[in-house]
Amino acid sequence: MRSGQGKKPDKFTIINELARRRGFFWQSCEIYGGASGFVTYGSLGARLKQNIEDKLRELFVNKLGMLEIESPVITPGKVFEASGHVDHFREPMVECLKCKRRFRADQLLEESAKISSSETEKLGLKGLEKAIEEHGVRCPECGGALGKPKYFLTMFKTTIGPYSKVVGYGRPEAAQGIFVEFRRLYELARERLPFGVLQIGHALRNEISPRQGLVRLREFTIMDVEFFFDPEEPNCFLLKDVEDETLKLVLAENRSKGSEEAVEVTVKEALEKSYIKAEWQAVFMALAKKLLITLGVPPEKQRFIEKLPWERAHYALQCFDQEVYLERLGWTEVSGYAYRTDYDLKRHMQFSGVDMRIYKEYKKPVEMEKAFLKPVMSTLGPVFKAEAAKVADLLSKADPEVVEASVKGSGCYILGKYRILPEHVKIMHRKVEERGKHLIPHVVEPTFGLDRLVHTALEYAYRVKEGRVLLSFPRDIAPVQVGVYPLVSKDGLPEKALQVYRTLLDEGFVAEYDEAGSIGRRYARADEAGTLLGVTVDYETLKNETVTIRDRDSWKQVRTKIEDLPQLLRKYLMYKADFEDLGKLIKS
Q: Tens digit of pLDDT for each residue in 396-406? A: 888 898 899 99
Task: Share the mean pLDDT of the chain.
Answer: 93
- 168 and 283 in one domain? yes
Q: Which of 130-134, 350-354, 477-481, 581-585 has the lowest mean pLDDT?
A: 581-585
Cα 438 to the center of its chain, rounded Å: 32
**Model pLDDT, residue 2:** 41
Q: Give 65-131 as a DSSP string.
A: --EE----SEEEHHHHHHHTHHHH-EEEEEEBTTT--EEEHHHHHHHHH---HHHHTT--HHHHHHH
Which pLDDT value is given to residue 141? 86
Q: What is the dihedral of CA 555, 561, 565, 569, to 10 degrees?
A: -40
Per-residue pLDDT of 92-133, as tens digits, reads 999 999 999 888 888 888 888 888 777 787 788 999 989 998
Residue where a domain stops, chosen among 111, 137, 153: 153
For the whole model, what pTM was predicted? 0.86
Q: What is the predicted pLDDT for the residue at 291?
A: 97
Instruction: Tell me how crowded residue 251 is: count the other CB atoms within 10 A of its CB.
Output: 22
Per-residue pLDDT band at 208 (split at 50, 70, 90)? confident
Local confidence band at 463 (pLDDT 50, 70, 90 cut-offs):
very high
Task: Indicate whether 503 belongs to any domain.
Answer: yes
Confidence of residue 437 (pLDDT cuts 50, 70, 90): confident
175, 240: one domain? yes
Q: Is the pLDDT of residue 468 over 80?
A: yes
Looking at the structure, tell me whether residues 77 and 102 fall in a common domain.
no
Q: What is the pLDDT of residue 493?
A: 97
Q: Name the maximum alpha-carbon separation found in the chain.
A: 98
Q: Which of 470, 63, 544 is nearest to 290 (CA)?
A: 63
pLDDT for res 586:
46
What pLDDT is attached to residue 89?
A: 87
Is residue 165's pLDDT more than 90?
A: no
Q: What is the pLDDT of residue 164?
A: 74
Residue 3: the pLDDT is: 41
Q: What is the CATH number of the domain that holds 297?
A: 3.30.930.10
Average the pLDDT over 342-351 and give the result: 94
Residue 86 corresponds to which amino acid? V
Residues 213 and 293 in one domain: yes
What is the domain-level CATH number for residue 383? 3.30.720
Residue 399 lies in domain:
364-437
CA 582 to chain centre: 36
For the segment 315-325, the average pLDDT, to the nearest whole number, is 96
pLDDT in tens, 136-155: 999 988 999 999 999 999 99
In the predicted structure, residue 14 carries a pLDDT above the cut 90: yes
Cα separation of 267 and 265, whole Å? 7
Q: Is residue 246 part of a domain?
A: yes
pLDDT at residue 5, as a whole number: 52
Same domain, 559 and 495: yes
Using H for helix, E for strand and C for coil, what is the string for 25-60?
Answer: EEECCHHHCCCCCCEEECHHHHHHHHHHHHHHHHHH
Mean predicted confidence (pLDDT) in 477-499: 97
Question: Do 204 and 295 lie in a common domain?
Answer: yes
Please tell me whether residues 394 and 524 are part of one structural domain.
Answer: no
Residue 22 lies inside a defined structural domain of this protein: yes
The answer to the question of residue 50 being in a domain is yes
* Cα torsion through 297, 300, 302, 308, rounded to 10: -170
Query: Do residues 547 and 409 both lie within one domain?
Result: no
Identify whether the C-beta of residue 309 lies closer than 8 Å to the C-beta of residue 118.
Answer: no
Q: Give residue 349's pLDDT.
A: 93
- Which of 298, 131, 111 has its CA nearest to residue 212? 111
Q: Specify the CATH number for the domain of residue 110.
A: 3.30.40.230
Cross-strand pairs, 265: 247
**Residue 368, in any domain of the structure:** yes
Same domain? For 270 and 395 the reply is: no
Which of 437 and 228 is assigned the larger pLDDT? 228
Q: How many of the other CB atoms lie within 10 Å of CB of 555?
A: 14
pLDDT of residue 209: 80
Question: Are 232 and 346 in the same domain?
Answer: yes
- pLDDT of 582 over the 60 cut: yes
Percentage above 70 pLDDT, the chain: 98
Strands in 194-291 per DSSP E:
195-204, 219-229, 246-250, 263-266
Q: Are residues 503 and 528 in the same domain?
A: yes
Instruction: Give a yes or no: residue 2 inside a domain.
Output: no
pLDDT score, position 450 = 98
Least confident of 65-69, 137-141, 176-180: 137-141
pLDDT score recorded for residue 82: 93
Mean pLDDT within 254-281: 96
DSSP 61: I
Asked if 423 and 458 sit in the same domain, the reply is: no
AA letter at 557: Q
Q: How many domains does the chain have?
A: 4
Q: Considering just the CA atoms, what is the radius of gyration of the chain in Å?
A: 29
Q: Across the strands, what pairs with 536?
A: 485, 548
What percentage of the chain carries pLDDT values higher than 90? 78
User: Could you give the count of Cα atoms lying within 13 Å of 541 in the half-sphere of its Cβ?
Assistant: 26
Assess if residue 262 is contained within a domain: yes
Kindly state whether residue 1 falls inside one of the protein's structural domains.
no
Separation CA 22–CA 45 (nearest Å): 9
* pLDDT over 60 at 518, yes or no: yes
pLDDT at 6: 59
Task: Give the per-residue pLDDT at 8.
Answer: 78
